Amino acid sequence: MTSTPAPSTPPASSLDPAIAARLKRGADGLVPAIAQQYDTGEVLMLGWMDDEALHRTLTTGRCTYWSRSRQEYWVKGDTSGHIQLVKSVALDCDADTVLVKVDQTGAACHTGDRTCFDADVLPLGQ
């Protein structure tokens, strides 16, 4: 009789269990993470984090996100040089969104804009 190997599972995250228990994740296990410039309040971008990305962000001082398109972790600025140094991390009142206040070096958006919200401002009153 041949035994079937057990399916592989991702390694458990090192995120503090008390924080992990509070998070309300989507069906994909992710929470939205808003990056905001710590000193001006400028909203820079929205990324996605799972428990491990949040753990890495909290412990390394650099923003780590989960890329939904590439299905891998990425540290903001590792390829572009446009790093996000973490100043603080907070959960919203429902624990379903993370706010990361950062000191952004260079552009936050992959298009080269300072923020992901610079280029497509919609008209009001229409």
CA–CA dist 87, 36 (Å, integer): 10
Residue 63 marked as a ligand binder: no
Q: Is 116 annotated as a binding residue?
A: yes
Residue 84's region, left for phi above 0, alpha for psi from -120 to 50, else beta, is beta
d(CA 90, CA 53): 14
93 is in an annotated binding site: yes
Distance set, CA 29 to CA 71, 96, 123 (Å): 13, 11, 34
Are residues 66 and 43 in contact, defined by beta-carbon separation less than 8 angstroms?
Answer: no
Query: Is 51 marked within a binding site?
Result: no
Binding residues: 92-94, 96, 109, 116
Binding residues for Zn(2+): 93, 109, 116
Binding residues for Mg(2+): 92, 94, 96
